[in-house]
């Protein structure tokens, strides 16, 4: 059986923690603006980019104009 | 091989746990049996049934491009990792429903509720959610109403629109009623709930102006503010001068809830609605996780019998036999039509690969169902006498504590006034008698689980934490429901006069919001003045409407499966549909025609009218009797309307299916044509 060294274990834990953190950011919408920036740079270069505040406001308006919460 | 082995182990474990439950019928059973049986059942359903449906019935195709990829706009259409879509979808479908329903159904004992939650979810709710999610994904994320119109015809489309709007009204009323019952004459709960409003506004300002969009930072801030609200409410409760400011009657609270919902529906969402939702979602997920851990750690013994005598229809929480009413009462934990609106809303636009619908659709619902199981455990671990004392209205068991304990002990569930007084004082409440609606007894159950896991000294704090947790997301659902109802109403009114359909024209916004709040506010008001607690009438009505929506969703799914030439697989959705149609129609028929005044709405109205005319009612009841009578008749009409809509859709679906099987023309499939994944990128066809 392969022995896991302390450093490898720490590295493994750090990677797990990192992916949990990325999941939390994505699922809560914390990274939404960054994804928007990436999408914008890839697909619409040169067009005006919304500010963080304006993007957040627009995102909320869109989210809450349909059924997004249940009983 | 490993997969088969785990499958076999799961099957043995499930059989063992279910067998354990069956064999322990006449002695107290440990909650761990139920947790084990539930988890194994869900895993088996997910691994075997869901996989089979995905492959054979829905013909999920991982090579097919999803709308998120084809229509990717970086906003609502975004291909997203399935673990994240799962989180989004679960947060959207998880509401107060699976907490309240099982608590009410606990009057039949723990067994009927547990069985329906498990069977209903594995064969009904999970299947519905996954199927609708895939069908909507195949149709560019179209809504349930649009799919009904496209696949069945204008009649089906219109019926589902009206049905959805009516559900919003009933849902908001019943959630408002649960909320009012939580806060009634409880200064601590009221102060805490009121304090969550400025807390949400501060978080809203933070997210909009100070640090735009930094949701996690804002949530940490919000958590600190909620903790402050909780402790601050307890402090106010100790100040004789202050506590009276937060001591309200039910009617006053109903007015406050309506005013709040109106304001929240017309304000820009970032001020109140969006930040409140962030707080409620984190609180909800955190508490559910905590509850799961605490149940496993404390593994309490359930004190409620497996089956109580109330299966004969004489139960104090609501009238009606175990069939059909356990299936109506536990809506959301087993199958909820409302989920079909989410599964045909935001979620399909995020699915990056069709294969993900099994995890997102089936998996989220299985987890939601597990929440219902935990709520059932929290309700049935209480002494049955205590459970019935908290949940029975004064009109059923008597207005004084002495009368109530006498009645309840007479049923064979001993409870004393001293016991209830000690419990109320431990929870920091004046009284726990007749706190109907399910939320207070759930909070007592949760407080005792948390108390024995994390220290009993803080029972009152845990109780009010549980109350705050329930109240925050009751309010969040109320806000969101009112707002969506307003949009639907404006959409409908726009057909009559175009300016009314403009969602940013203030006169129309105010008119539609007032109409929506008045509609559910009316049912809320009557529920509050009803001496039997109101929940006993409103909750079954909500259950019937929610099952009707589920039947609409399953009809659409069945119609599409048959139209696509796979009639032999249609049983997958047809069997749950037939069961729901049977249950809902039987319940509706009994609610309208039963001569028993505790079940039949018309019988109750007639009985009350007779007593009013004869002058035999006490003065307080005579004053509200005319409103109660009118309301019961109105509820009977609504019940008939729901049943009519249900059968209209089923017949419309049957008509389409018969035409298809006979080879006659039917509306063409609205499925988007096949495009291979990755093909769009290669061709550079994306805008």
The per-residue pLDDT for B684 is 44
- Residue A57's Cβ-side half-sphere holds a number of Cα atoms within 13 Å equal to 11
* Contact status of A66 with chain B (Cβ, < 8 Å): yes
pLDDT band at B686 (very low <50, low <70, confident <90, very high): very low
Chain A nearest CA to B412, separation (Å)? 34
pLDDT in tens, B322-333: 999 999 999 889
**Residues listed for chain A:** 71
- SS in 3 state form for B537-558? HHHHHHHHHHHHHHHHHHHHHH
Of B74, B87, B484, nearest to A43 by CB-CB distance is B74
Residues of A in contact with B546 (CB under 8 A): 71
Residues of A in contact with B687 (CB under 8 A): 43
Of A23, A36, A55, nearest to B83 by CB-CB distance is A23
* Contact status of B47 with chain A (Cβ, < 8 Å): no
Chain A nearest CA to B320, separation (Å)? 23
What DSSP element (H or E) covers B30? strand B29-30
Give the contacts of B457 (CB within 8 A, at least 6 positions apart): none
Residues of A in contact with B480 (CB under 8 A): 64, 67-69
Q: In chain A, how many domains are there?
A: 1
> Is position A17 within any domain?
no
Phi-psi region of B200 (alpha: psi -120 to 50; beta: other; left: phi over 0): alpha
Work out the average pLDDT over B283-293.
91
- CB contact at 8 A, B330 and B613: no
> What domain range is A51 assigned to?
31-61
* Contact status of B335 with chain A (Cβ, < 8 Å): no
The per-residue pLDDT for B687 is 38
Chain B nearest CA to A44, separation (Å)? 8
* Contact status of A10 with chain B (Cβ, < 8 Å): no
* Contact status of A15 with chain B (Cβ, < 8 Å): no
pLDDT band at B680 (very low <50, low <70, confident <90, very high): low
- CB contact at 8 A, B183 and B236: no
Q: Residue B270 and residue A70: Cβ atoms within 8 Å?
A: no
Question: Greatest CA separation found in chain A?
Answer: 57
User: How many degrees, rounded to 5, is the angle at CA B433 between CA B427 and CA B436?
Assistant: 100
The per-residue pLDDT for B230 is 96
Of A33, A53, A60, nearest to B269 by CB-CB distance is A60
Number of C-beta neighbours around residue B518 at 10 A: 13
Work out the average pLDDT over B385-395.
94
User: How many degrees, rounded to 5, is the angle at CA B94 between CA B234 and CA B216?
Assistant: 65
Work out the average pLDDT over B141-163.
90
- Does residue B279 have a pLDDT over 70? yes
Give the residue from chain A lying closest to B204, CA to CA: A57
Work out the average pLDDT over B526-540.
91
Q: Residue B87 and residue A68: Cβ atoms within 8 Å?
A: no
Work out the average pLDDT over B617-621.
89
Residues of B in contact with A63 (CB under 8 A): 269, 274, 346
Chain B (268-287) residues lying within 8 Å, Cβ to Cβ, of chain A? 268-270, 273-274, 277-278, 282
Mean pLDDT over the full length of chain B: 93
- CB contact at 8 A, B587 and B320: yes
* Contact status of B502 with chain A (Cβ, < 8 Å): no
Work out the average pLDDT over B274-293.
92
Give the residue from chain B lying closest to A32, CA to CA: B213
Phi-psi region of B455 (alpha: psi -120 to 50; beta: other; left: phi over 0): left
B57: DSSP letter: I
- CB contact at 8 A, B104 and B393: no
Beta strands in B379-500 (DSSP E): none
- SS in 3 state form for B556-567? HHHHHHHHCCCH
Determine the Cα–Cα distance for residues B372 and B394; give it in Å rounded to an integer: 27
Determine the Cα–Cα distance for residues B539 and B164; give it in Å rounded to an integer: 16
Work out the average pLDDT over B156-174.
90
Determine the Cα–Cα distance for residues B550 and B197; give it in Å rounded to an integer: 33
The per-residue pLDDT for B98 is 92
**A vs B: CB pairs below 8 A:** 123
Give the contacts of B429 (CB within 8 A, at least 6 positions apart): B186, B188, B463
Torsion, Cα B428 B432 B437 B438, to 10 degrees, reads 70
Of A29, A39, A71, nearest to B74 by CB-CB distance is A39
Peptide bond into B324 cis (omega under 30): yes
Give chain A's end-to-end CA distance (angstroms, integer).
50
pLDDT band at B52 (very low <50, low <70, confident <90, very high): very high
Q: Residue B346 and residue A66: Cβ atoms within 8 Å?
A: yes
Q: What is the CATH number of domain B2-185+248-377+424-661?
A: 1.20.1740.10
Give the contacts of B162 (CB within 8 A, at least 6 positions apart): B645
Of B208, B282, B484, nearest to A66 by CB-CB distance is B484
pLDDT in tens, B166-224: 999 999 999 999 999 999 999 999 999 999 999 999 999 999 999 999 999 999 999 99
> Is position A2 within any domain?
no
* Contact status of B573 with chain A (Cβ, < 8 Å): no
- CB contact at 8 A, B447 and B462: yes
> Is position A70 within any domain?
no
Burial letters B630-643, b for 16+ CB under 10 A, else e: ebbbebbebbebbb
pLDDT in tens, B540-583: 999 999 999 999 999 999 999 999 999 999 999 999 999 999 99
- CB contact at 8 A, B343 and B132: yes
- CB contact at 8 A, B347 and B360: yes
Residues of B in contact with A30 (CB under 8 A): 213-216
Residues of B in contact with A71 (CB under 8 A): 95-97, 171, 175, 331-332, 336, 338, 477, 542, 546
Number of C-beta neighbours around residue B377 at 10 A: 26
Chain A nearest CA to B603, separation (Å)? 30
Determine the Cα–Cα distance for residues B280 and B295; give it in Å rounded to an integer: 22
Q: Which residues pair with B29 in a beta bridge?
A: B302
Closest Cα partner for B169 from B595, B508, B523? B523
Residues of B in contact with A33 (CB under 8 A): 212-213
Exposed / middle / buried, residue B355 (Cβ in 10 Å: 0-12, 13-18, 19+): middle
Work out the average pLDDT over B403-416.
96
The per-residue pLDDT for B20 is 75
Q: Residue A23 and residue B207: Cβ atoms within 8 Å?
A: no
* Contact status of B680 with chain A (Cβ, < 8 Å): no
Residues with pLDDT less than 70, chain A: 1-4
Residues of B in contact with A57 (CB under 8 A): 208, 268, 270
* Contact status of B477 with chain A (Cβ, < 8 Å): yes
Number of C-beta neighbours around residue B309 at 10 A: 12
The per-residue pLDDT for B681 is 59
The per-residue pLDDT for B3 is 73
Work out the average pLDDT over B410-437.
94
Work out the average pLDDT over B470-490.
90
Q: Residue B274 and residue A32: Cβ atoms within 8 Å?
A: no
Determine the Cα–Cα distance for residues B526 and B37; give it in Å rounded to an integer: 41
Is the alpha carbon torsion for B175, B176, B178, B183 positive or negative? positive
pLDDT in tens, B88-135: 999 999 988 899 999 999 999 999 999 999 999 999 999 999 999 999
- CB contact at 8 A, B326 and B112: yes
3-state secondary structure of B409: helix
- Does residue B17 have a pLDDT over 80? no
* Contact status of B336 with chain A (Cβ, < 8 Å): yes
Q: Residue B213 and residue A39: Cβ atoms within 8 Å?
A: no
Of B175, B207, B345, nearest to A66 by CB-CB distance is B345
> Is position A67 within any domain?
no
> Is position A18 within any domain?
no
Cα→Cα distances B351→B65, B148, B188, B554, Å: 10, 21, 43, 21
Determine the Cα–Cα distance for residues B347 and B135; give it in Å rounded to an integer: 12
Determine the Cα–Cα distance for residues A52 and A34; give it in Å rounded to an integer: 9
Closest Cα partner for B194 from B445, B422, B472? B472
* Contact status of B364 with chain A (Cβ, < 8 Å): no
Q: Residue A23 and residue B87: Cβ atoms within 8 Å?
A: yes
* Contact status of B78 with chain A (Cβ, < 8 Å): yes
The per-residue pLDDT for B343 is 96
Closest Cα partner for B145 from B633, B661, B556? B556
């Amino acid at each position: 059986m392969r022995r896991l060294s302390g450093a490898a274990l720490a590295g493994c834990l750090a990677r797990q923690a990192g992916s949990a953190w990325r999941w939390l950011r994505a699922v809560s919408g914390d990274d939404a603006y960054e994804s928007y920036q990436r999408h914008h740079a890839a697909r619409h270069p040169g067009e005006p980019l919304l500010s963080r505040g304006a993007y957040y406001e627009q995102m909320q308006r869109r989210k809450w104009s349909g059924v997004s919460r249940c009983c | 091989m490993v997969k088969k082995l785990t499958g076999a182990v799961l099957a043995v474990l499930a059989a063992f746990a279910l067998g354990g439950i069956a064999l322990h019928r006449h002695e107290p059973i440990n909650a761990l049996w139920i947790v084990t049986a539930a988890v194994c059942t869900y895993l088996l359903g997910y691994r075997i049934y869901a996989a089979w449906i995905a492959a054979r019935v829905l013909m999920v195709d991982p090579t097919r491009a999803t709308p998120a990829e084809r229509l990717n706009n970086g906003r609502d259409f975004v291909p997203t990792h399935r673990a994240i879509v799962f989180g989004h979808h679960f947060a959207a479908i998880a509401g107060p429903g699976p907490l309240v329903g099982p608590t009410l159904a606990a009057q039949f004992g723990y067994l009927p509720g547990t069985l329906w939650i498990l069977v209903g979810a594995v064969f009904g709710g999970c299947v519905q959610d996954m199927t609708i999610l895939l069908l909507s994904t195949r149709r560019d994320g179209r809504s349930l109403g649009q799919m009904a119109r496209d696949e069945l015809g204008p009649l089906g489309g219109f019926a589902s629109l009206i049905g959805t709007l009516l559900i919003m009204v009933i849902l908001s009323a019943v959630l408002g009623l649960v909320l009012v019952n939580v806060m009634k004459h409880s200064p601590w709960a009221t102060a805490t709930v009121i304090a969550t409003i400025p807390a949400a506004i501060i978080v809203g300002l933070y997210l909009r102006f100070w640090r735009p969009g930094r949701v996690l930072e804002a949530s940490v801030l919000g958590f600190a503010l909620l903790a402050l609200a909780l402790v601050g409410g307890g402090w106010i409760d100790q100040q004789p001068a202050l506590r009276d400011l937060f001591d309200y009657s039910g009617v006053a609270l109903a007015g406050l809830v309506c005013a709040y919902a109106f304001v929240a529906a017309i304000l820009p969402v970032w001020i109140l609605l969006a930040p409140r939702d962030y707080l409620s979602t984190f609180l909800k997920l955190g508490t559910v996780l905590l509850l799961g851990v605490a149940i496993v750690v404390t593994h309490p013994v359930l004190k409620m019998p497996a089956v109580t005598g109330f299966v004969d229809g004489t139960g104090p929480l609501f009238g009606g036999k175990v069939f059909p009413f356990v299936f109506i009462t536990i809506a959301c934990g087993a199958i909820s039509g409302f989920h079909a609106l989410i599964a045909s809303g935001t979620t399909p636009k995020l699915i990056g690969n069709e294969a993900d619908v099994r995890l997102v659709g089936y998996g989220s619902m299985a987890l939601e169902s597990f929440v219902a199981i935990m709520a059932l455990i929290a309700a049935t671990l209480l002494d049955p006498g205590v459970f019935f004392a908290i949940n029975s209205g004064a009109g059923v068991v008597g207005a004084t504590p002495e009368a109530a304990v006498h009645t309840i002990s007479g049923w064979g569930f001993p409870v004393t006034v001293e016991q209830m007084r000690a419990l109320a004082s431990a929870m920091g409440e004046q009284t726990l008698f007749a706190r109907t609606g399910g939320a207070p007894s759930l909070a007592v159950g949760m407080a005792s689980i948390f108390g024995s896991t994390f220290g009993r000294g803080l029972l009152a704090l845990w109780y009010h934490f549980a109350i705050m947790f329930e109240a925050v997301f009751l309010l969040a659902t109320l806000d969101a429901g009112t707002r969506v109802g307003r949009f639907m109403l404006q959409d409908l009114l726009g057909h009559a006069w175009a300016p009314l359909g403009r969602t940013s024209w203030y006169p129309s916004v105010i008119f539609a919001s007032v109409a929506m709040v008045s509609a559910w506010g009316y049912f809320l008001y009557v529920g509050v003045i009803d001496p039997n607690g109101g929940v006993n009438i409103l909750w079954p009505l909500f259950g019937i409407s929610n099952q009707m929506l589920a039947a609409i969703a399953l009809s659409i799914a069945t119609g599409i499966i048959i139209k696509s030439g796979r009639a032999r697989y249609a049983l997958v959705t047809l069997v749950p549909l037939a069961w729901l149609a049977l249950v809902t129609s039987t319940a509706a028929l009994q609610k309208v025609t039963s001569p028993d005044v505790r079940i039949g709405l018309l019988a109750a109205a007639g009985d009350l009218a007779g007593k009013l005319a004869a002058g035999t009612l006490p003065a307080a009841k005579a004053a509200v009797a005319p409103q109660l009578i009118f309301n019961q008749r109105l509820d009977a009409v609504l019940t008939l309307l729901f049943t009519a809509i249900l059968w209209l859709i089923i017949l419309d679906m049957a008509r389409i299916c018969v035409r298809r099987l006979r080879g006659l023309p039917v509306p063409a499939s609205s499925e988007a044509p096949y495009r291979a994944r990755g093909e769009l990128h290669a061709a550079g066809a994306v805008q």
